[in-house]
Amino acid sequence: MSSRRSRQQSSSSRISDDQIIELVSKLRQLVPEIRHRRSDKVSASKVLQETCNYIRSLHREVDDLSERLSQLLVTIDADSPEANIIRSLINQ
Amino acid sequence: MASSMISNTTIPPPTSDRSHRIKRKKKAQSKAQQAQEQQQRLQSHAKWRSQAQQQIYSSKLHQALSRVNLSGGPRRGKAVREAADRVLATAAKGRTRWSRAILTNRLRLKFRKQKRNHNQQKAVGPARSKKARFGVLRLKGKTLPAVQRKVKVLGRLVPGCRKEPLPVILEEAIDYIPALEMQVRAMAALADLLFGSSSSTVAGSSDGSGLPPPI
């Protein structure tokens, strides 16, 4: 099982070495922390690290916003005129 | 009409011949679809950045949130988060692994929850053995080179990519990040809208600027 997996990994990475470099550079442009650095200054390992950090921070933001939204939704009566205005603003 | 509906609901017994044919058909399709999917993928990166997409997401999110049960107390935030992720995955139209994973994960969690409720006592045993196994895996992880370890971490952060090879993880992350950014923008805008209206109901028109106050 483990031997098969490692073989699979090595073969797939051998086939698409160039592709992986391309993908990593695409990824680099998506992460604000390393987007504007020169590409030769950023190792693949650094790109992976910063990508992980960035996704984590986005997840945290979504969590915080979820918490905030849930609190706001409780305070607003769904049938109030304010709620209607929001509905029309969002659904325009 | 009625008879066709009935025949639709009954599951035909799977004959080996039939499933074989379907498999072959799928293989042939997948080759032709790959190029198309690649094209869609490229479009979807741009798609997540478009104003229209965010607008659609906001309205779908708002609809979904109106259906969320907010009586759950501390679990409210989690319920909102689940709804927000589900809507995001639906917006991805199932073209990416991460979106399919979000949608199927939910089903699995539901199923697991039901099961746990069914026999809470029994659940203690397997949970412990799982913990022990995790410890072994962690030890193994220390021997992995740094890059591979980071790939593993990234695979765990992108839904549905835990066991995927590196190129798949990278491609999915490239689509997932702009989608997450869009989700954050839309949720923040919605929170501002709601905050504006809730504060106006409490304190009347505050400063008349119409802008949400800074957080």
Domains of chain A: 2-90 (4.10.280)
- pLDDT at B107 (0 to 100): 64
Comparison of pLDDT for B150 and A79, the residue scoring more: B150
The model's confidence at residue B73, banded by pLDDT at 50, 70 and 90, is: low
Most confident of the ranges B14-28, B80-94, B167-181: B167-181
The 3-state DSSP class for residue A28 equals: helix
Q: Which residue among B70, B154, B198 places its CB closest to the CB of A51?
A: B154
Kindly provide the residue ranges of all beta strands, DSSP E only, lying in chain B, ordered along the sequence: none
The model's confidence at residue B76, banded by pLDDT at 50, 70 and 90, is: confident
Tell me which of A69, A75, A82 to substitute to probe the interface with B (most B C-beta atoms closer than 10 Å): A69
pLDDT at B44 over 80: no
* Interface check B144 vs A, CB under 8 A: no
pLDDT at A7 over 70: no
Is residue B200 within 8 Å of B209, Cβ to Cβ? no
* Interface check B187 vs A, CB under 8 A: yes
Residues 6+ apart with CB under 8 A from B41: B95, B96, B171, B175
Whose tokens are 């994973």? That residue is B101
Tell me which of A57, A66, A89 to substitute to probe the interface with B (most B C-beta atoms closer than 10 Å): A66
Within 8 A of A56 by CB-CB distance, chain B residues are 157
- pLDDT at A63 (0 to 100): 95
Cα dihedral sign, B195-B197-B202-B205: positive
Least confident of A35-44, B4-13, B91-100: B4-13
The model's confidence at residue A3, banded by pLDDT at 50, 70 and 90, is: very low
Is residue B167 within 8 Å of A10, Cβ to Cβ? no
The model's confidence at residue B113, banded by pLDDT at 50, 70 and 90, is: low
Comparison of pLDDT for B211 and A46, the residue scoring more: A46
- pLDDT at B110 (0 to 100): 60
Kindly provide the residue ranges of all beta strands, DSSP E only, lying in B19-118, ordered along the sequence: none
CA B4 vs CA B8, B9, B10, B203: distances in Å: 6, 9, 10, 60
* Interface check B151 vs A, CB under 8 A: yes
Rounded CA gap, B200 and A82, in Å? 9
Q: What is the mean pLDDT of chain B?
A: 72
Is residue A52 within 8 Å of B157, Cβ to Cβ? yes
Give the angle B180-B50-B160 at the CA atoms, nearest 5°: 30
Is residue A73 within 8 Å of B65, Cβ to Cβ? yes
- Percentage of chain A beyond pLDDT 70 is 65
Is residue B182 within 8 Å of B49, Cβ to Cβ? yes
Whose tokens are 């072994």? That residue is B136
The model's confidence at residue B179, banded by pLDDT at 50, 70 and 90, is: very high
Instruction: Give me the mean pLDDT over the B51-77 stretch.
Output: 82
The answer to whether ipTM exceeds 0.90 is no
- pLDDT at B19 (0 to 100): 52
Q: What are phi and psi of B69, to 5 degrees?
A: -75, 115
Torsion of Cα atoms, B111 then B97 then A8 then A42, to 10°:
-130
Whose tokens are 């997401």? That residue is B57
Answer yes or no: do A55 and B177 touch at CB < 8 A: yes
Rounded CA gap, A30 and A35, in Å? 7
Rounded CA gap, B99 and B176, in Å? 9
Least confident of B77-91, B97-111, B114-128, B190-204: B114-128
- pLDDT at B116 (0 to 100): 58
- pLDDT at B205 (0 to 100): 39
CA B14 vs CA A74, B22, B24, B28: distances in Å: 49, 11, 16, 21
Q: Which residue among B80, B154, B193 places its CB closest to the CB of A86?
A: B193
- pLDDT at B147 (0 to 100): 85
Which B positions 42-81 lie with beta carbon below 8 A of chain A? Answer: 55, 58-59, 62, 65-66, 68, 70, 76-81
